[in-house]
Amino acid sequence: MNPTIQSVLVLGAGAVGGFYGARLAQIGLQVSFVCRSNFEAIATKGLQIRSYQGDFSITPEQVVQDTKDYQGKPDLLVIATKVVPGNDLTDQIAPLVHPGLTILLIQNGIEVEAPIAEAFPAVPLLSAIAFVGVTRTAPGQIHHQLRGDLEIGSFGPGQFDSALKRVLTAFESTGLKIRGSQDIVKSRWVKLLWNAAFNPLSVLGQADTQRILELPGSEAQIRAIMGEVMALAEAAGKPLDPQLAEKNIAATYKMPPYKTSMLVDFEAHRPLETEAILGKPIKIAHRLGIAVPRLELLEALLHLLADQKRG
């Protein structure tokens, strides 16, 4: 294994993958991208980041349309694709597997790691949660509005400590706030608390975070939805800080009006991460016998609306 991360391949050059890949390229790593809808723009013009921390552009090492076309053996594969049905990752990962590979997932939702861990048990698998407000404004163009911190942990705590250390070191060099997580599955529940409430309401109410909080009735629903996620996390063995819902709401009040990633996807007619954010938690709830009426209703409404938008 390499003592430090040199070459990085980012799968999914949307807002999140593009942003973190660009930050790694900015500090001199050899960063390449696998992209589909963005391919033409990024291959010819690279990535432009408009950021509240300072604008910058990068030219990727390689830009490919398929992992099979990547030349070389990446030290790190960053997976930042949307978690949507039909996006099977194992086929795309297989050509990249070599003894020096580490995989880092930066994705939303719950239980996103298991299929990869099962398919490639020998490959160190890290999992990260991004606390960041980034939007793709055009192919290859990303607007970074908020935060940027990452919480990174080993999937299977303690299992891949040296890989985790190397990846933490690489990301810390970007100047972003990076935290190691001893329990990334629990961290996912922490993030889900916000996502499960604000993402669906933003789409169904066609509203940014400020509008949602302005209407007293919807703030009460945010609290009630978070209550369901809290109860579910506890039943799943990951009890959260009882104050976390209130802290989340207070923090959201302090944010500038923000369009959730799900609302951005919806307005761009892209598939929604409904399964990662609601579907998987609901399946866990059914397994554990926890009532989640609001999560179920939101899931059904999002499916209905997405079906109508396609139809």
Please give the residues from 195 up to 254 whose contact with a second copy meets the rule CB under 8 A.
201, 204-207, 211-212, 215, 217-218, 220-221, 224-225
Question: Can you tell me which of 85, 175, 256, 293 binds a second copy, judged by CB under 8 A?
Answer: 293
Which residues fall within 8 angstroms of residue 209, CB to CB, at 6 or more apart? 198, 202, 252, 255, 257, 258, 259, 260
Spatial distance between the Cα atoms of 257 and 279, rounded to a whole number of angstroms: 27
CB of 254 to a second copy, least distance (A): 21
Considering beta carbons, is residue 166 or 294 the nearer one to a second copy? 294
CB of 124 to a second copy, least distance (A): 37
6 binds a second copy (CB under 8 A): no
CB of 282 to a second copy, least distance (A): 10
Considering beta carbons, is residue 66 or 267 the nearer one to a second copy? 267
CA dihedral 60, 61, 66, 70 (to 10 degrees): -170
Instruction: Determine whether 126 is exposed, middle or buried from the number of CB atoms within 10 Å of its CB (0-12, 13-18, 19+).
Output: buried
CB of 188 to a second copy, least distance (A): 23
Q: What is the 3-state secondary structure (H, E, C) of 228-256?
A: HHHHHHHHCCCCCCCCHHHHHHHHHHHCC
CB of 220 to a second copy, least distance (A): 7
Q: Which residue has the tokens 């790190």?
A: 76
Measured from the Cβ of residue 1, the count of other Cβ atoms closer than 10 Å reads 11
Question: Can you tell me which of 54, 158, 307, 310 binds a second copy, judged by CB under 8 A?
Answer: 307
CB of 237 to a second copy, least distance (A): 25
Please give the residues from 40 up to 59 whose contact with a second copy meets the rule CB under 8 A.
none
Considering beta carbons, is residue 35 or 229 the nearer one to a second copy? 229
Spatial distance between the Cα atoms of 97 and 288, rounded to a whole number of angstroms: 36
Spatial distance between the Cα atoms of 283 and 294, rounded to a whole number of angstroms: 14
Which residues fall within 8 angstroms of residue 244, CB to CB, at 6 or more apart? 190, 193, 226, 230
Q: Which stretch binds a second copy (CB under 8 A): 38-46, 99-107, 131-139, 296-304?
A: 296-304
Considering beta carbons, is residue 145 or 221 the nearer one to a second copy? 221
Considering beta carbons, is residue 254 or 310 the nearer one to a second copy? 310
DSSP for 69-111, written as a single string: G--S--SEEEE-----TT---HHHHGGG--TT-EEEEE--SSS
Considering beta carbons, is residue 111 or 296 the nearer one to a second copy? 296
Spatial distance between the Cα atoms of 284 and 51, rounded to a whole number of angstroms: 37
285 binds a second copy (CB under 8 A): no
CB of 223 to a second copy, least distance (A): 11
Q: Which residue has the tokens 């589909």?
A: 36
Spatial distance between the Cα atoms of 246 and 103, rounded to a whole number of angstroms: 34
301 binds a second copy (CB under 8 A): yes
Q: How many residues belong to the site for a second copy (CB under 8 A)?
A: 29
- Which positions lie near a second copy, rule CB under 8 A? 201, 204-207, 211-212, 215, 217-218, 220-221, 224-225, 293-294, 296-301, 303-305, 307-309, 311
